[in-house]
Each structure stands twice: as structure tokens, then as C-alpha cells.
Amino acid sequence: MLDTILVTGGAGFIGSNFILSWMESVGSPVLNLDLLTYAGNPANLSALNGDLRYQLTRGDICDAELVGALLAKHRPRAIVHFAAESHVDRSIASPEAFLRTNVHGTFILLDQAKQYWSGLSEADRNAFRFLHVSTDEVHGSLGKDDPAFTETTAYAPNSPYAASKAASDHLVRAYHHTWGLPVLTTNCSNNYGPFQFPEKLMPLMILNALEGKPLPVYGDGKNVRDWLFVDDHCAAIRAVMQNGRIGETYNIGGNSERTNLDVVTTICDLVDEMSPRDGAGPRRELITYVKDRPGHDRRYAIDASKIARELGWQPSERFESGLRRTVRWYLDHSSWVDSVRTGDYLKWIAENYTERAEL
């Protein structure tokens, strides 16, 4: 039987955490295909240096010839597809890259996977899985008292990012229903934890708070997100890979709805505790309200009862303990932070936050 898995985007935040946890919990070989754009960092996986079970190939999922060659050479038993442009603000500023990677790239990957899967033996075809990692944002925005998203909630994406992920979800579904490709789709809530690129809310606030910089909060700060610790997400993906029903979608959530302002104030308090400033006021004083992003969804919430019922998965990390672990990680890994905050990153922060009008 085939043993290797192909992970796309495995040098990014969730992908690198998934590979590290896979090596620890499963241990079978991993081929990581990653273009290593600004958010892909091979140093995230430095713990695997010299491990013959792990191989990184720098390449583009839009390159059909490369993808086909890798499948033919490494003969994976599964593809776990993380590779995506994922930052909503960047999709508003420049949507084309999101269409290329998230839509066209997923199409290329599916098409090459179909050709590869069709040529396998019957036993290997039956065992093969294509797992597509997606987002709750495909469902749009919820009102304060609306029920949480389920797997059957209608799609209503409101940002170019969400629309590109919705399109990729539909392509995955189509390849299953048209050609029988054994696919699985997961839609997760907001992830947090180690190795997250510091343009995202939590690491941005942690690092700005640590450095005494303004903490830019969009609008009134009352937008609500469900927060999922990345290790819990990785465990859920493994459960879906192993026992999920082919062709099905599974929601993965953290059961931790919080307003953005609640998240930021909690981060302030944790940084004050872990890295106190002599003679300076509390970090909460750094909070600055800035002009809201266009089309900012008000609330996301995930109903993860299906994966709990069918596969026995539930999040194990409480929000308070997970956020404490996350803050501690960023404070203890200043060299990693310095290595990813390049000139391009600083330019982006200036364009998106520093130059955004205060309220």
C-alpha cells in the first residue's frame, strides 16, 4: 500500500503545524509542495532537518507539469491541500493572486490528482483521499442571534478571499460528483497558535503590544469570530482523513466565540503579565480604533456537531489556555519573528494600518 502524503502549502502557518503534528502522531513520509511566498517559511519545519521522512519541494500548485511529475514519482496515498492566499485585507487590495492560487491552483491540483488516482490499482484507488482545507468565511456573515454555520448553510462569500475559497470548494465537490475522486472538505474557523504570520490579528497585536506600538482595531471592535487552536485543527484533519465519509464536508470549530476587542484586551493583559513595562501604563492604552475594512463580516460561528458525532473529535484547548500558549510562543521566539518581518511585510503594515485613518 502507498504510504507518503503530499501536503500543499506545508511551510505556511497551519500547514507547518500539521506536518509537525503528523510526524509526531503518524510518522509516515511527507512531501511538502510550497511556493514559499511571503507567508511560507521553511524554518517553521527546521525541527525536521535531516529527517529522511520529510521532503520540501519549492513549486507552484498552478504548475500542472510539476504537480503531475511529483505525483508520479512519490505516489502519495493522500493529498492534504492547504496552499492558499488567505488574508482578507490583501484580497481587498489585490484580488487577482487569490483567484490564481485558490481557484486555478485548486483546479490544477484536482485535475492532476484525478489523472494520478485513475491509474492506481483498485486497492490504492479505494484508499486514496484528497482533503481540501477551507474556511467558514464562505458562508458570509451572521447576525448576533443567528444559528452557527452548519455544513448545509448556503454559501454567501463577502470578500474576494471568501469568494475564491467558495469557488475552490465547489470545484472539489464537482470532481467528486463528476469523476468520483475521493474528496473530503473541511471548513474551519479562525486559527491561532505558533508560526502564524504576523499580519494576522493575534500575532500583530502580540508583537505591537510587546513593542509599545498602537494596536489597530477595525471599526468598533465588536466583530465576532470563533477561535480554533491550530493543534486542535490538525487533529481534526487527521480524524477526517482517517474516518471521514468520502464526498462529505466537516465543520471544524473551537467553540470559542469572542469579539475582536475581547481578543485584543486579553492579549494586552497577557503581555503585561509576561513582559511588564517599568513605568509604562497597561497595554490596553495602546488600542486605537481605525476605519473598518470594506465589507467586514460581523460574525462567524461554527457548528461542529457533525464531526463530533461522526468522528468523535472535539477541541481540547480552551481559548484562555491556547491564547496564553500563543503569547508565550511569540515572546520566546523573537528570532523567528525578526526573520519573517521583512521589508515587504513592513510596507504592507504601513499601507494597511499605519495609513488607515483613525476614528
- Tell me the per-residue pLDDT of 134-149, one tens digit each, with 9 for 90 and over: 999 999 999 999 999 9
Distance CA 6, CA 230 (A): 19
CB neighbours (10 Å) of residue 51? 12
Pairing of strands 5-8, 190-192: unpaired
Distance CA 128, CA 199 (A): 35
Report CA dihedral (112, 115, 119, 120) to the nearest 10 degrees.
Answer: 50
Angle between helices 319-332 and 260-274 (to 10 degrees): 50
According to DSSP, the residues that pair with 226 across neighbouring strands are 257
pLDDT value at residue 348: 47
Angle between helices 201-211 and 260-274 (to 10 degrees): 40
* DSSP helix/strand/coil, 245: coil
pTM above 0.75, yes or no: yes
**With a cut of 70, which residues of the chain have pLDDT below it?**
1, 343-359
Is-contact 102 85, C-beta < 8 A? yes
DSSP 291: P
Task: List, in order, residues 6 or more apart from 84 with CB less than 8 Å away.
Answer: 9, 101, 102, 105, 133, 165, 168
Is 136 catalytic? The answer is yes
Pairing of strands 215-218, 287-290: parallel
Is 330 catalytic? The answer is no
pLDDT value at residue 123: 97
Is-contact 345 199, C-beta < 8 A? yes
Query: 23-37 burial, b if ≥16 CB within 10 A, otherwise e?
Result: beeeeebbbbbbbeb
pLDDT value at residue 76: 98
Of 34, 89, 137, 297, which one is the catalytic site residue?
Answer: 137
Of 34, 136, 169, 231, which one is the catalytic site residue?
Answer: 136
C-alpha cell at 152: 448545509
Nearest partner of 17 among 162, 192, 136, judged by Cα:
192
Is-contact 30 7, C-beta < 8 A? yes
CA 33 vs CA 197, 236, 342: distances in Å: 19, 21, 23
CB neighbours (10 Å) of residue 50? 6
Is 269 catalytic? The answer is no
pLDDT value at residue 344: 58
pLDDT value at residue 356: 46
Distance CA 241, CA 238 (A): 5
Of 54, 116, 161, 250, which one is the catalytic site residue?
Answer: 161
CA 323 vs CA 206, 256, 262: distances in Å: 10, 11, 12
Distance CA 116, CA 137 (A): 31
DSSP H helical ranges for the chain: 13-25, 64-74, 88-93, 96-98, 106-118, 122-127, 160-179, 201-211, 230-243, 260-274, 305-311, 319-332, 334-340, 343-349
Is-contact 79 8, C-beta < 8 A? yes
